[in-house]
Amino acid sequence: MITASSGTARVTLPSDTQILITREFAAPRHLVYRAWTTPELIKRWWPAKRGKMTIAEVDLRVGGRWRYVMIADGGLEVAFHGEYREIVPNERLVSTEVFELVPDAEAVDTLMLTEQGGRTTLTILVQHQTKAHRDAHLESGMEAGLQDALDLLEQVATALR
Amino acid sequence: MARAATTTDAFNAIAEPQRRQILDLLAPGELPVNDLVALVGLGQPQVSKHLKVLREVGLVDVREDGRQRLYRINGRMLKPIHDWVSNYRQTWEERFQALDQVLDELKAQEKRT
């Protein structure tokens, strides 16, 4: 199906400790919210083409926990978890987020959905405690496959020296 | 992944809000240091200190023009920073494209019921 009517993701860094992601979707926001919070649906989009999602746990209530686990194509297991802090169905979802390989760096994610004419603008504000954590988060977002390729390239380059 | 030393320096250099402001002011074209001092609203010594840091990591270039020193942005050095954010954006864009497909199906289901 053609989805050319959707936008492309924008990523900006409003301050040293924040990441702001925005994207428009050609669907009403209750459907975006459903896809965002239903485990069977999360498993279909969250890993994109970079791996297979093995766990999508969603205990959607304030104080409830979530946990996502993916096996990346290189075989690396990546896991994230957090706790829901604020829930306004179809509109706003505030949760904590910890990348389990960097357990000290807890971020607070705010998802906001606004709808106009059947289209939804999705905004995610990621608030980190420190700039170092924010930067590490940005780096971890690099495609797993590209990361493997770069590591390999580095090994080859070192061997040639 | 370890970044090259110069890139790390450039990242540190733009972490400072006043240095980012200087880079923003230089984006349209080169400026003499006096204009920068007036626009940034800091003292000349502080502006010169920031310019020195930016010059050392290669984010700005300077040239002499008569008695003036003109500063300009070195776009080549900003590219790695741009690329870094681009990779992160690309990851999310792939995810969102998969979400587009899920949403198309949900819309079709809703129409049928």
CA separation for the pair A32, A89 (Å, rounded): 11
Average pLDDT, integer, range B17-33: 85
**By C-alpha distance, which of A77, A78, A82, A53 is closest to A67?**
A82
Backbone angles phi, psi at A60, to 5 degrees: -80, 75
Check residue A151 and give its pLDDT: 45
Whole-prediction pTM: 0.68
User: Over chain B, what is the mean pLDDT?
Assistant: 83
CA separation for the pair B2, B6 (Å, rounded): 12
The answer to whether the CB atoms of A31 and B103 lie below 8 A apart is yes
Average pLDDT, integer, range B80-103: 84
At residue B1, does pLDDT exceed 50? no
B111 touches chain A (CB under 8 A): no
Low-confidence ranges of chain A (pLDDT < 70): 1-7, 140-161
Q: Which of B8, B78, B84, B95 to mutate to test the interface with A (most CBs of A within 10 A)?
A: B95
The answer to whether the CB atoms of A45 and B98 lie below 8 A apart is yes
B16 touches chain A (CB under 8 A): no
Partners of residue B96 in chain A, C-beta under 8 Å: 6, 9, 23, 25, 45
Check residue A158 and give its pLDDT: 45
pLDDT in tens, A33-66: 999 999 999 999 998 877 899 999 999 999 999 9
Check residue A159 and give its pLDDT: 46
Q: Work out the pLDDT band at B90, boundaries 50, 70, 90.
A: confident
pLDDT in tens, B53-78: 999 888 899 999 888 899 998 877 77
| Cα dihedral: B38, B44, B48, B50 (round 10) | -70
Query: Pick from B11, B84, B104: which is nearest to A1 by CB?
Result: B104
Q: What is the nearest CA distance from B111 to chain A, expressed in angstroms? A: 12
Partners of residue A34 in chain B, C-beta under 8 Å: 106
**By C-alpha distance, which of B17, B6, B3 is closest to B76?**
B6
